[in-house]
Chain A
Amino acid sequence: MKNRLATLIGIVWLSAVIGFVLAPLLIALVVSFSDSELISFPISSYSVRWFATAWQKEIFWRSALNSLWLALAAVAVAGPVGLAAALAIRRAPPAIAQPIEAVLMLPLLVPAIVLSLSLLVASVITGITDAPLRLWAAHSVVVLPYVVRTCLASLGSMPRQVEEAARTLGASPWRVFRHVTLPLMRPGLFAGCAFAFILSFDNVSVSLFLVNQKTPTLPLAIMNYVEYNFDPGVAAVSATMVALSLAIAWLVERMVGLRKVLG
């Protein structure tokens, strides 16, 4: 009896958590298929017209492209840098590696708003006032910890001594990296880059401080839009973003799960 009660409480609790987390998302998804002029729930009739309408608005597709390029550019920096940092952290003596790792993880711990303000100050001090350039730099910094984390994790799960074994079999350090280390890190690197992409694409706080009016990112465009409009178009754009994130997450799951194929 006691056990069954515990199970029941567990199920209720789990459902509540899932519902709490997912319900708003689901409502946005449902609303995006609404046919009405204003956001309302439940919806009376279905249509995909808001997807077409919203994505035809220049502010959305242009900012979506901005966000896409920004996320790709940030990953292009954070990927190699994170990989190199993870390799260096693992090879360095702990006395050096631990502080460096801690510093690289800081963007995860510092409140987003504080970090954003710091990055703005940094951009002013360094004189990098070109909005796309400083957005690129800031996003690269913000997403870097995720790449480092996942790369360190895959280095940690690498079988001991494989690199040394490769050396004794005649591979130079570069070929060891090329044929052994990198293939074994690929799942971690890939997952890290995918998360980094999503985080950059969804980022609001950093962009908010560093963006200029001419080249907003998609999340900022959505924020601006809902200040003056309340139609299901914004839900349609959001739904597209959710779909993109889910697609990437699914891809990661596939790729990391099928490690052998990747290797």
Chain B
Amino acid sequence: MSSLALQIDAVVKRFGATTAVNNLSLDVTQGEFVSLLGPSGCGKTTTLRMIAGLERPSAGTIRIAGIDVSAMPPEARDIGMVFQSLALFPHMTVADNVAFGLRMRGRATDRLAERVREALDRVRLSGFEDRYPDTLSGGQQQRVALARAIVTSPAVLLLDEPFSALDRSLREALTLEFSGLLREIGATTVFVTHDQEEAFAMSDRVAVIEGGRLMQCDAPATVFGRPSCTRVARFVGMSNLLPVTKGTDGALRCELGPLSLVADARGVPPAVVGFRPDDIRLADPAPDSAGLQFSARISRCTFRGRQVQLELTPDLAPGHSLRMLAESGSPIPETGVVRNFLVAPERLHLMGE
């Protein structure tokens, strides 16, 4: 159990009549990087604030390094946090900002300057010790905020959308640099973001949160490729979702026709089958194998540069509209034409509701 840096157990947070976080449980092992991913207002920041002690859970317990901290104030918890607004102290120099945590916790008083220098070195800000935060660029301020949070070597490092204020290119560069750095120092990190790419690029595991509930927590590739439910599926872009029924012979089918699946997908309790827009292909060259084959009319065609987005109305289920993405170089039928389409077996994913 000692390898668990953070244990969140059945935590609930209510604000008046609304429930921001609903019965959320999550364990994070030492040195792991976990992202809390979800749309704004899903409860991910509230969860992070409860870990930090800035909000009290209405129910449930939170343990940091095995210690129940649920009732402890933030200053008693062994954490470091980088805020969305960075929240650097404008009246202190960079060095004093970084030293603040060490001073308040009464740590390393004899090696204070050395520890501060090390931390600034790590974020490549040596030589900026005597500058004030408002004389630094956005990216440099980001680095100060990170150095300030990691200098105390906290048991858990909490990052609350720290890159959201930066422009895209700087953001990508810092994402890579920071995740590398945090791995290097072996920091246990909980990272809140609404940006999928950011979460996938940085994390060991991604926890998808929606409506205050944890929908799925898995490795990035698993969340992306095998979402556990329709809400996660929609969130990661698996937008074609159809209910599944089981025939008397045990065979699975959806409204478009029978499904033939690869073996390892059969374990899941079948409720919905999902596939991505770019997994639909024209069936004209005779298929080797098809997981699902259907005939549909192309109801709309939108040019999107590298890709062309098609809207398909299947013959057997005209109420549904499927979305398809095709390479814009490939030959594409015109709007109004009825054609055969297919999805390969390995591209079909069964999931719960």
Contact = CB atoms under 8 A, between A and B. Distances in A.
Contact of A168 (B79, B90, B91, B92): B79
Contacts of B91: 183-184, 259-260, 263
Contacts of B100: 166, 169, 171, 179
Interface in B251-265: none
B81 A165 contact: yes
Given A167-B54, A263-B92, A175 B104 contact: yes
Interface string A202-213: 000000000000
B92 A160 contact: no
Contacts of A259: 91
Contacts of B88: 159, 162, 165
Contacts of B74: 164, 167-168
Nearest to A262: B91
Contacts of B53: 167-168
Contacts of B77: 168
Interface string A177-191: 001100110000000
Given A168-B54, A172-B75, A175-B104, A180 B80 contact: no
Contacts of B178: none
Interface string A99-140: 000000000000000000000000000000000000000000
Nearest to A167: B74
Interface of B is mostly: loop
Contacts of B132: 260
Contacts of A260: 91, 132
Best-surrounded residue of B80, B85, B89, B152 (most CB of chain A within 10 A): B89
Interface string B151-164: 01000001000000
A161 B85 contact: yes
B83 A161 contact: yes
Contacts of B148: 169
A165 B87 contact: yes
Contacts of A180: 89
A184 B85 contact: no
Interface residues of A, number: 21
Contacts of A167: 53-54, 73-75
A24 interface: no
B101 interface: yes
A164 B89 CA distance: 11
Contact of A162 (B79, B89, B101, B105): B89
A170 interface: yes
Nearest to A263: B91
B83 A170 contact: no
B292 interface: no
Nearest to B93: A260
Interface in B80-127: 80-81, 83-85, 87-92, 100-101, 104-105
A164 B152 CA distance: 17
Given A260-B91, A260-B132, A263-B91, A168 B80 contact: yes
Interface of A: 159-162, 164-172, 175, 179-180, 183-184, 259-260, 263
Given A169-B101, A171-B104, 20 more contacts: A159-B85, A159-B87, A161-B85, A162-B87, A162-B88, A164-B52, A168-B74, A168-B75, A168-B77, A168-B81, A168-B158, A169-B100, A169-B104, A169-B105, A170-B152, A172-B75, A183-B91, A260-B91, A263-B90, A263-B92
15 contacts: A160-B85, A161-B83, A161-B85, A162-B90, A164-B87, A165-B83, A165-B87, A167-B73, A168-B53, A168-B77, A169-B80, A169-B105, A171-B75, A260-B132, A263-B92
Interface of B: 52-54, 73-75, 77, 79-81, 83-85, 87-92, 100-101, 104-105, 132, 148-149, 152, 158
